[in-house]
Amino acid sequence: MQYRKLVPAVAALAVLCAPSVASAGTAGASADVHRKSAACASPSGKKINVSWGDGNVTTTVYYNNHCNQKRAVKLQFVRENGTIFHKCFTVGAKSKGSKKIDHSMPNKVTLPGSC
């Protein structure tokens, strides 16, 4: 008898929660994600892949380096007064991870061999 009362209550609760979950999921998807890749010198056919988002305060760069050599990720930023500055970090061979940069919205991202 209690089971019959419990099932409609759980179903009603699921219906009430579903719209709020959907709206929360779509709100987070509005930030732009950018991607870039570059070919490796070795092994042939492999790449380094990076992605980053447009953060308000910081930029987190995610990387996956399939190369046999270390690679650099160079970000160009523009200050409010128009001056340009760069942040560069090196990624180890065959590594995957992320790096948090204390500046937001890079103007340009390049993947040179070294910093």
The reply to whether 9 and 46 lie within a common domain is no
Q: Are residues 40 and 57 in the same domain?
A: yes
CB 101 within 8 A of CB 60: yes
A 10 A CB-CB count for 111 gives: 19
In contact, 28 and 54? CB cutoff 8 Å: no
CATH at 82: 2.60.40
DSSP 81: T
In a domain, 98, yes or no: yes
Q: What is the mean pLDDT of the chain?
A: 82
In this structure, the answer to whether residues 39 and 22 fall within a common structural domain is no
pLDDT digits (tens, 9 = 90+) for 55-111: 889 999 999 999 999 999 999 999 999 999 999 999 999 999 999 999 999 999 999
| 43-62: pLDDT as tens digits | 999 999 999 988 889 999 99
In order of 9, 78, 79, 84, 108, the CA distances from 30 in angstroms are 34, 23, 24, 27, 21
5 domain residue, yes or no: yes
The model's pTM is 0.70
Render pLDDT for 3-17 as a digit per residue (tens, 0 to 9).
555 555 555 555 444
Q: Are residues 46 and 98 in the same domain?
A: yes
Number of structural domains found in the chain = 2
Q: Position 79: which residue type?
A: R
Q: Which domain holds residue 91?
A: 33-110
Determine, yes or no, domain membership for 115. Answer: no
Instruction: Kindly state whether residues 40 and 9 are assigned to the same domain.
Output: no
